[in-house]
Structure 1
Amino acid sequence: MAENIGIGLIGYGFAGKTLHAPLINATAGLTLAAVSSSDAGKVHADLPGVKVTADPGAVINDPSVDVVIIPTPNETHYPLAKQALAAGKHVVVDKPFTVTLSQAHELKQLAENRGLLLSVFHNRRWDSDFLTVRQLINDGILGDVVYMSSQYDRFRPQVMPRWREQPGAGSGIWYDLAPHLIDQAIQLFGMPVAVNVDLALLRPGALTDDYFHATLIYPQRRVVLHGGMLAAAATPRFTVHGTKGSFVKFGLDPQEARLKAGVYPPQPDWGIDTLDGILTLAKGDEMTEHQVRTQPGNYPAYYAAIRDAILGVGENPVTAAAAIQVMELIELGVLSSEQKKTLAVKNG
């Protein structure tokens, strides 16, 4: 393979246009060679020199394409990834990996059999707030962490006519936002021993879940993951309590907002979050508060790592095995909500 790696992008909806295409174009050694879209004009307005076809199969089988990127509706992840792997292409799938655990295992095995890279775009591993929380924990600043709340709330009272909010496999907020929070929790603490999940439809006219509240149970720790569509007031993105102190962070990582606004990396201030977190440390009976500048977020690191992994000089940034752990908790969470009880995690 030439050191300039050809990328084929399946779909040019929100994720393809806003996240994947700009990050690919910002990565040295990657070339966006072809895009599958029914709206060639929309693609060419942003990417005038790129081949566009309405047929995903044409992109997958294009000889100039080495890696196929799949940021499409969730239920299409499995068939498109399977087709691309069967064609001998490396594959990046947007989160969630698939809509069933069995599909995820099948894709992992197919990639291993063919010696191909298969990665899942869990980009929020490179959020500014998450990187800061991870550093505080790893440095022992908080002591032993006994509780963490990770929330991703929005205020979207109207049910929109888009696939994420319509009935169907892989729709709803549990499959949309929870994979980010679950992946981050696993990165910090590993797999829990049990989960308790409540999924609900709270908005008038809701057709699929628009609320989740999940507790990941560890022997000496509780991790609460929460998301909803009716939170008008600001809620903490992270609340972390340990034996030495606490950390609270409001506000979202700024990278997606900048990408939506058409501001692309590289930029000198890329990933800088101007809203500091608050660290409260205990020394005896005294509590002291400190502002903590968040680490810069770094979404471009994902595709740089994909490039290096394909060239054999780095590791897959998000392996299929790691994404399967997320899928295990997604599926178990659905069962927990349906059965209204806490369920044990196998090998947790």
Structure 2
Amino acid sequence: MRVLLAGATGVIGRPLVPLLRAAGHDVVGLTRRPDRLPALAAVGAQGRVVDALDPAAVDAVVADVRPDAVIDQLTALPERYDPRRLDDFYGATNRLRRDGTAALLAAAEAHGARRYLLQSISFLTAPEGPDVLDEDARPWTDAPAAPAAEMVRILVGNEARVTGSARLAGLALRYGFLYGPGTYLASDGSMADEVRSRRMPLVGGGGGRWSLVHAFDAARATVAALERGAPGVYNVVDDDPAPMREWLPAFAAALGAKPPRRVPAWLARLLVGELPVRQATAARGASNARARAELDWAPAIPSWRTGLVEHRDGDPVGPAPRPAGAASPEAG
């Protein structure tokens, strides 16, 4: 299959390109930065420099490549996560996901792509109901911070447009919180720095559940979705959603850091606002049952307890991707 991968040098794109090549796919990777073209060539992908916010440029490259499938991993997240600067954190990525995805999807539909895979997030669901939620849970479109609420609305709209396309088979992959090389939770990532300096505390009872996944497992799930997924929305997370009071102290210990401080919710609310407090105290985990059943995928690292804590930054050795052609990629 000829695959156009937007965001080919991002956190998921980096492990995804070699997996796609190993599965027999031709890959054309899009990047905003010319200096990243040699890295794509080194793993067997053609590279193109494109501004995803330029619809004419996007249309031209899709028309030239004529891909069978488009994988949309577009983000513009800052190097450091700072809950005190949410406008900076969400702003550029919200624009890219709104305008860049619109241009890429329109070009894919116009130029004969048969499949479109969209990056989304598992933690866009509202913090209500059971401890672990599936893909049908209510999106948190009324999140208590405007940039975050906008992010959820954009992603939900993108999911609806992609999965509802009449011209191609669209899948939305809701990835969990990523760890592994290049992520905020890598040993040299910004969250690790926050943990070492004890600026990432346990808030209240620390009951907010996070669903994590190694970037390599996220890439493996993307290959599975490309080759055999039916149109729809899929959570791509590990098997062990856990409250912050469990995973955060374990992560600190693995980093050789002191245990995280405990901060009452009222004080955290004054310091960083309502959204991070709700995420830390009330967030729900995500179920991967649909991805396991319908994509025939399972995480090579089933739990953050081994992946995040024991070998934080190593790429796990998981089952090889199924060879290309094992299932029909025709649009439904």
Range class of TM-score, shorter chain: 0.3 to 0.5
Q: TM-score, normalised by structure 1?
A: 0.40
More strand by share: 1
Q: TM-score, normalised by structure 2?
A: 0.41
More helix by share: 2
